[in-house]
Amino acid sequence: MTTNFDAAVEDVTAHLTSERQAWLFGAGISCCSGLPLMYPLTELVAANYSDEGANHHALFASLKSSLPEAAHIEHVLSQLGDFVALAERSKDKKISIGGTDYGVETLRALHGGIRDAIRDVIRHGYMPGEGDEAPKIAEEGAHVVKVDHHRNFLRTLFAARDKVGRPLKPLHFFTLNYDTLIEDALALERISFADGFSGGAMAYWAPETAYAETGTGGRVAAHLIKLHGSIDWHAENNGSVIRCREGCGYPERAGNVLIYPQATKYVATQRDPFASLFEKLREVLRSPQPMVFAICGYSFGDEHVDLHIEEAMARPDCKTVLVAFVREQEREGLFQLPDKLVDWMTNKPWANRIFALTDKGLYHGNTTNLSQTGETHEWWTFEGLTKFLSDGPQQAEDNVVAFPVPVAGVEDDVAIGDAE
């Protein structure tokens, strides 16, 4: 290991014990917990519309055929959301797709049906197909989805903070995932948190009180902000938002699960709950106090989120340090950082406040890899990050391998909530 590499590892370790700390998670942190990334998810959802007799079969097929071969289910939702907007503005409230006219209500029904299908996959988990087999949703009661990795991460992270020996600011966890693994793990680890809702298993959206730093029993330890919604959030007809207990027959939920994996997310974020959630992101990123914004499981593919980060980091009073745990991407036989990180580290005056820990090494402030050994690191994975938090700099010495680390479900897929 080089001296510069060792010094950078020490710097990252120190930053991750910061009093003011926030995390951004993408679907990469859940792929080892029984949940699919984008292309398996697309196959699972598309199976609902594959039979000619299925509801909306022709409409779904037309949408898919109008998109590039590599399009996935979020692109379908984006296209459908745009068609809904166009139909709403048309005189007869219809639009032609693939030579057939479809009304607004039909388009909305398919949009809601796709969101419900996504919810079902994430709730049950899935079984990856072997060989030529297609992936399939786990059967009811199979208990494929596991929370162990999330519990280990939170237990390790909060144990490190407990060593500081003084009251610390609440941690902020921003997630682009629709699953409930973070909040489940927080509860199982007895870590007090606020998620913007007031109530219990059935709760209503009340961010003005739920995100207050103090409450019964004292200061909460964490704020959870689910930027893209959740499989247990639902919109009522009166416009209010509730978090629902699974299994009960009330209230009516068909087609109104609150997830927004589409290009029109910008419009959605102008209304609650998303307006409040993204304001929370802006507030944390723009803090004039020194803080650390760490990222894991996210490949910088959501332009809306990336723009918030970029605008905040560029503010003259911003002291935020960005620490990204990310896998390098192969292009023309070479492995490189994600394009967005390359842009920031190459063209932005605040590049010196960026660290990137990848499977190939470590970068600080530019695109020069400080590791010259050719070793492959595990710290970019959720499990490897947990070990790094536990072992610190020693992990960099003891846990490297000379070949790529296989991580189930990651490969070159796209993370859910990580694409436009």
Q: What's the count of helices (H) and strands (E) in the chain, helices before strands? A: 14, 23
Domain shared by 110 and 233, yes or no? no
Q: Is the pLDDT of residue 268 over 90?
A: no
Residue 208 domain-assigned (yes or no): yes
Residues whose CB falls within 8 Å of the CB of residue 41, separated by 6 or more in sequence, listed in order: 72, 73, 118, 121, 416
Residue 79 domain-assigned (yes or no): yes
Domain shared by 313 and 263, yes or no? yes
| Segments forming the whole domain that contains residue 49 | 38-137
Q: pLDDT higher for 180 or 210?
A: 180
Domain shared by 157 and 42, yes or no? no
Question: What is the structure's pLDDT at 201?
Answer: 85
Residue 414 domain-assigned (yes or no): no
Closest alpha carbon to 296 in 183, 195, 174 = 174
Q: 262: pLDDT confidence band, cut at 50, 70 and 90?
A: very low
Mean pLDDT of 215-225: 75
Answer for the pair 204, 228: CB distance below 8 angstroms, yes or no: no
Phi, psi of 241, deg, nearest 5: -120, 135
Mean pLDDT of 173-202: 94
Q: What is the pLDDT of residues 294-343, one digit of tens each?
A: 999 998 988 889 999 999 999 999 999 999 999 998 887 788 999 999 99
Mean pLDDT of 163-189: 88
Strands 222-226 and 193-194, by their bridges, are: parallel
% of the chain beyond a pLDDT of 70: 86
Question: What is the structure's pLDDT at 349?
Answer: 96
Domain shared by 88 and 231, yes or no? no
Residue 210 domain-assigned (yes or no): yes
Domain shared by 55 and 187, yes or no? no
Question: What is the structure's pLDDT at 174?
Answer: 97
Looking at 105, 137, 169, the residue that finishes a domain is: 137
Q: 396: pLDDT confidence band, cut at 50, 70 and 90?
A: low
Domain shared by 308 and 250, yes or no? yes
Torsional class of 321: left (φ above 0), alpha (ψ -120 to 50), beta (otherwise):
beta
Q: 39: pLDDT confidence band, cut at 50, 70 and 90?
A: confident
Cα–Cα dist 171/180, whole Å: 18
Domain shared by 325 and 299, yes or no? yes
Q: 402: pLDDT confidence band, cut at 50, 70 and 90?
A: very low
Domain shared by 51 and 133, yes or no? yes
Domain shared by 85 and 184, yes or no? no
Domain shared by 292 and 166, yes or no? yes
Residue 232 domain-assigned (yes or no): yes
Place of tokens 């009516």: 252
Mean pLDDT of 104-128: 91
Question: What is the structure's pLDDT at 203?
Answer: 93
Number of domains in the chain: 2
Residue 420 domain-assigned (yes or no): no
Q: Which of 28-42, 136-150, 216-230, 338-352 has the lowest mean pLDDT?
A: 216-230
Q: Is the pLDDT of residue 78 over 70?
A: yes
Q: What is the DSSP string of 210-277?
A: HT-SEETTEE-SEEEEETTEEEEEEE-TTS-EEE--TT---S--TT-EEE--STTHHHHTTSTTHHHH
Mean pLDDT of 57-84: 90
Q: pLDDT higher for 372 or 255?
A: 372
Domain shared by 101 and 77, yes or no? yes
Q: What is the domain-level CATH number for residue 163?
A: 3.40.50.1220
Looking at 120, 137, 154, the residue that finishes a domain is: 137
**Average pLDDT value over all residues in the chain:** 85
Q: Is the pLDDT of residue 409 over 50?
A: no
Domain shared by 93 and 229, yes or no? no
Q: Which of 101-110, 149-158, 173-182, 246-255 has the lowest mean pLDDT?
A: 246-255
Closest alpha carbon to 313 in 269, 275, 334, 282 = 282
Residue 416 domain-assigned (yes or no): no
pTM of the model: 0.87
First to last CA, the chain: 38
